[in-house]
Structure 1
């Protein structure tokens, strides 16, 4: 699909959820963009990794589609996820800019997998139109993060610091994987890190689940963590306690 305007930016869209209830406040229009630089061993959207063209849509295409359901989004808005949404940062920035012109609440769901200090101006341009960030920190230990995702966490933690410096409201999302990042050593290190930030308005512990394995199987790709169990209720409650108890910005 070609843009009618040669200068028009097109987004490579994986899928759209029109009534998302878990990706930001209220009911939301959730846009999943195609492509991700991380290679998370537990990814439940394995089919979003590739950057080949899927469904190309313009910013106006998205906002016109949003308007069909806008009556339901009075306390919601648009969330952009992936894949990794910032892989298409130019399109994302333009979308959020036009969304704010229409008084639409904007939420970025990201693992900050494309952030680097050389790209700060691009990210600053995006953040000026971003109302909320859902930041996924997958592992606080850099070596374990490399093993789990194929990349260092250093730039991700730097991005978290920038969000704090700019006072961008942020919700931490931490997927709890038994015996991978559930150990006290890692939970307390993560707590120590988030205690250095002053912009978090929420901390969500997301229990690892095995439902995404089917996508790997359908693609004929080996799933390395097939023996990793889902966390128990007690493990989730313990992680909640470590990361949330007396957290100064949630009281």
Structure 2
């Protein structure tokens, strides 16, 4: 049996760097460059199709990231995040067909840039308290929702977790566990919505060998970079993500 795949060279011109960036984000910079993957691929295919193609790639990346950081995550914090994140994925599944993914992307982009502006104009003091739990629950629900719609769950969850000033490895490990659970929960709803067709899955298999490359790069960076440069790169990734999502949403 043969399966049809996407053959457009322009698709692979954007999909290959998108998958590598996604792999880096899965293991090193969870809130930054990875959220650019779907917007980049959406230059050549629809947002729902791009999200569906990335599902097997995400599963492999999540498994690799989880294996690399399985001893480093904050278990209690991860349970809190996963519980509220799953609420967001349920909302995303129920509203998926009623929402314009580009509108959602624009809202996430605007939120990301506002968060960065707030951090720049009103930098937190070393003794400032962490964000309240109710805000964390709200941002984590938003992350689960935007992750379901466009694999763009990084910026909302980072707005909650970054102010906690976790070490790079603890931050990365906790995000790896969170997104493994969230992405795993999306398989049945994606199948129910008819997104996991054979053409998308066959195309995903072509991109799958790139997954370990990005994850390997991210793991090496996360374990070697200082916290100062880690968060600078994180903010850079969030800024680029916010600009791209905002452009896609409101152009």
TM range (shorter): under 0.3
Q: Is the strand fraction higher in 1 or 2?
A: 1
Q: Is the helix fraction higher in 1 or 2?
A: 2
* RCO higher in structure (CA 8 A, sep ≥6): 2
TM-score (normalised: structure 2): 0.25
Query: Whose radius of gyration is greater, 1 or 2?
Result: 1
TM-score (normalised: structure 1): 0.25
